[in-house]
Structure 1
């Protein structure tokens, strides 16, 4: 049992000149119930290695450090690294927390836990959420999953199904790599300073996508082309994005029984794989 609330802890450790830096997108989680819910609903087996991204002054980290046998925390802000060292590591002889003062976008998980798999947890800075998600999805072989806090509208895009306006490249990238589940929303009042938007905790269980066999680079070349001008039809946007004649694209779509006037957001993940395969077949004929 911790002796002080998350809000009291955060105020205390920041009172001597500490601050939330807008340039780093810092909004610190200070709600004990939210912290408890993250651990209860989004937290895996404590025996696996865990890495926390953007711990800030450590309101969540100090709870994790009591439960996790192998815990790393990646923090870019030197001021917050010093707080974590003083308040969590120096005050706990048995603490198994390792601090990494670095940009999480440069982190290679194999440098942390080798060939093992672990779990990532974090309140992702909103201004680099997509970059961080993509960075760690590229390292999916090193992860069992992730529990991340993001803006609610990003969470909606992450979990969106085909046919809606939220469905796009991020939806496909996330769902190709993982089963995505929205756990709960977090109000602005759970943070200091308060953000202007609602946040959402999302759990990602990493797994291979059933039946996916094409090269990912080729696949996302087609997906990015399709969504580059999402208000246009699939025929027009693929022709423009792939720099191919419309007749060529029309032939590809017809071979798959896909209507040329479909919109990019109407296609399933596996439909884009079929387009990649059909493009190769048509090119070879």
Structure 2
């Protein structure tokens, strides 16, 4: 079984962050937030030590019980727990984590649907971070979450900045819960269904997609796009958060 230079098996899918500029960048972003911190996948504590210096309540979890014991001894001021990042309650104000690349999507989906956290700083695969931040066009997951969360791409991390070295670069993604949602939370499930229908509908132009997804005429679709400030967009991936919410409001009122 392969072992990293940090010791311990790599079977848990952990690529430890060793890139000091990124460790500093994450800490700087977290410093701009407030409240308690939850670190997912603490590993050997390279980031945990920096976060502990912020002097805020900090819980660090890891699925490797041996690392948990070692880190508990090294950082007595930190609450270190043996836990699974895909199941642990997201009960802190800020969530930080070097996410195992193969678990990025399930962890992100869970984070965007549960917990009371306000800010998150996540290290994921570069392409995942780009897509979630809407670089090059939005994705279904981002569009479904955009009325309640803001996504920002904070930087790229070279593959050699991890140990063991993965085959792809990492990307630093920050997520902030909106203080004023663009769509009422009570409408979230219906809105998510609307967005899914838009991404799966057929059509070479956006008005054709809207007409197919919402089962309205092309003229009504163009009217909705104009009202949402999206008449110049070509496809669903080109829509921004305000345009998605504007389209939803138009159809919700017309229903």
Superposed pair shares fold, TM > 0.5: yes
Per-residue CA distance 1:4-40 (angstroms, 9 max, x = gap): xxxxxx73x51xxx1212xx43211123333223212
Tell me how far apart the structure 2 counterparts of residues 280 and 205 of structure 1 sit (CA, whole Å). 26
1:119 Cα deviation after fit? 0.6
Report the TM-score when normalising by structure 1. Answer: 0.72
Deviations 1:184-241 (A, max 9, x none): 2110111111111111212223223564347111111111111125774445545665
**Residue in 2 that maps onto 1:84:** 68
> Residues 19 and 211 of structure 1: is their aligned pair in 2 closer, same or farther, counting only changes over 3 Å?
closer
1:20 and 2:7 correspond: no
Name whichever structure is richer in helix by fraction.
1
Give the TM-score normalised by the residue count of structure 2.
0.80
Q: Closer, same or farther in 2 for the Cα pair 1:217/1:251, shift >3 Å?
A: farther
CA offsets 1:129-183 (integer angstroms, 9 cap, x no match): 122122112236x22201111112122112226xx4x322233245433333322
Q: Residue in 1 aligned with 2:221?
A: 253
Please give the alpha-carbon distance, in whole angstroms, between the structure 2 residues aligned to 1:59 and 1:225: 43
CA gap 1:105/1:281 in 2 versus in 1, 3 angstroms:
same
User: Which residue, out of 190, 199, 208, partners 2:179?
Assistant: 208
Listed as ranges, the matches of 1:226-245 within 5 Å are 226-228=198-200, 232-234=204-206, 237=209, 244=215
Tell me which residue corresponds to 1:153.
Answer: 127
Q: Say if 1:85 and 1:228 are closer, same or farther in 2 by CA, change over 3 A.
A: same
Greater Rg, structure 1 or structure 2? 1
State whether residues 149 and 177 of structure 2, in contact with CA within 8 Å, keep that contact through their aligned partners in structure 1: yes
1:160 partner SS:
coil
- 5+ residue gaps, structure 2, are none
Determine the structure 2 residue equivalent to 1:7: none
* Matched residues, number: 247
In 1, Cα distance between the equivalents of 2:120 and 2:130?
A: 16
8 Å CA contact 1:174–1:180 kept in 2: the answer is no
CA contact (8 A) 1:151 1:198 kept: yes
